[in-house]
Structure 1
Amino acid sequence: MLSYFPGANQGIGLGLAHKFFEEGWEVFGSVRPQTINSPSLSDLRKVASKIFEIDYLDESLIARAAREYGDGPLDCLVNCAGVSQGPELWQEYDSQILTEWFRIMVVGPFLTTKYFESNLEKSEFGGKLVNISSPLGSISENYRGTKFGYKIAKAALNQETRTIAMDLKGRKSSISVMAIDPGAVPTSLSRWRGNITVEESSSGIYAVIDRVGVSETGGFWSWNGEEYPF
């Protein structure tokens, strides 16, 4: 089976690439052009059949990666992107920060999904579309006025996930769509805070992806299998 990971040269994306490879999948990964010479790329090369250049801020690169991938089937697409090093107070955000964050965490995954949808439709196993999200994107569970930019971007990603899922379901598509929280994993995004290892998170996410099918499309899950409210 074929899996593709935009943002796969470090952290959770890299962990998932290794997990899928261990489970017998053929893995494709992507990295931003700015990190193409990163030492971490050697770890991705150990498991990826091919590495593409994708920057969620550049639609032309996403389109080019889709052309380079070709017309063949894709069994699972995992959109993995995040940025959170922002102001503490919501009043300190400006249009430049919010626009960039939305482009990275909302628009980029949308465009990648759009360009690879036809490949997912061709999967003989039923394609899986996975957006790596966060419980901070849950509106009903928001009780603190913190992490403003990250919260509203992930909430938008969750709505994007649900809307695409409902459209595909209405068209009798075989693609299953889900948002998954990877948990508190110590990565550069979390400023190395967290109590869940990359390996634990990746194994849990894989189990959720493997289990969730069309009947549960559009759901929001934790890495440990718990379903989150939107």
Structure 2
Amino acid sequence: MLARSILITGSSRGLGLELVKQLSAANSSPGHIIATCRNPDSALELKKLAETHQNVHITRLDVGDEESYIPLVAHVEEIVGSSGLNILINNAGISPKSTRINMVKWKHMTDTFHVNAIAPLMLAKALLPQIKRAASQMDGGCLAAKRAAIINISSILGSIEENKEGGLYPYRASKAALNAITKSQCIDLRNFNILVTCLHPGWVQTDMGGKSAPLTPVESVSGIINTLHNLNEEHHGGFYQYDGQKLPW
């Protein structure tokens, strides 16, 4: 089993939905898969999964709305109880269509930072007591996803070193900020034995990635789950691709 409990944001479609699919179908499926989305009533595929897998719990969360964190935290507490929350996967994100400098607008930048960088930090803060509780269930100081982990879904487009084409200001900058947040979290949370890392899912055939992307959601998520199983001290505070390859900042 990867972990007793996992919370995934942005679970109604794309990578988030595929994560729920593969985790719920695993031979050793987590005891609780908490799948969050903005509109549970319209998340038809997710609802079907919850109907056939008792360990899938759907709960409403708009990561950009801090008020929605309050009922979420209470619901997570009801689900995981004294065992705490083992893994938080900050998957939800947005990418405006603006590309070049003559097209970017204030709102593009502020909205994208709000969802892609600020929200993952503040959600981790809100759920931190439950993540700490999960980390305390194991003896010793080892780091592993099955113990406690915050996984921030980043992007190679957030790599400053790998930026050879420019443009994409809101998305690139927000993911670079998320990488910086991940690094600070890894320092702040090491003494609590909470593993923190950021993962690039690859260029995937989702609504955001487009149909010409080389990876299917199935391929990307299969790699992500395999990588999660293998995370340890070496990966703490790092930036890795879905298949475990280390990426440059």
| Counterpart in the other structure of 1:28 | 34
| Counterpart in the other structure of 1:16 | 19
CA distance in 2, matches of 1:173, 1:202: 28
| Counterpart in the other structure of 2:140 | none
Q: Which structure 2 residues correspond to residues 109-188 of structure 1 after superposition, within 5 A?
A: 109-123=120-134, 124=137, 125-169=146-190, 172-188=191-207
Shift of 1:210: 1.4
| Counterpart in the other structure of 1:41 | 46
Q: Deviations over 1:80-119 (max 9, x none)?
A: 1222232121232222121111111011111111111111
TM-score (norm 2): 0.85
Moved more, 85-94 or 159-168: 85-94
**3-state SS in 2 of match to 1:178:** strand
Q: Deviations over 1:50-79 (max 9, x none)?
A: 211111110010222012211541111101
Q: Deviations over 1:180-209 (max 9, x none)?
A: 011111000112331212111111111111
| 1:214–1:173 Cα change, 3 Å | farther
Shift of 1:40: 3.0
CA distance in 1, matches of 2:34, 2:246: 28
Q: Are 2:223 and 1:212 aligned?
A: no
CA distance in 2, matches of 1:27, 1:69: 10
CA distance in 1, matches of 2:115, 2:212: 22
| Counterpart in the other structure of 2:99 | 88
CA distance in 2, matches of 1:163, 1:140: 19
Q: Are 2:12 and 1:5 aligned?
A: no
Structure 1: which 5+ runs fail to align? none
TM-score (norm 1): 0.92
| 1:214–1:198 Cα change, 3 Å | same
- Find the partner of 1:191 among 210, 218, 243: 210
| Counterpart in the other structure of 1:65 | 72
Taking only the aligned residue pairs, the percentage that are identical comes to 26
Moved more, 115-124 or 156-165: 115-124
- Find the partner of 1:105 among 116, 119, 135: 116
| 1:85–1:97 Cα change, 3 Å | closer
Give the length in aligned residue pairs.
227
**3-state SS in 2 of match to 1:131:** strand
**3-state SS in 2 of match to 1:122:** helix
| 1:67–1:119 Cα change, 3 Å | same
Contact kept? 1:31, 1:54, Cα under 8 Å: yes
Contact kept? 1:3, 1:20, Cα under 8 Å: no
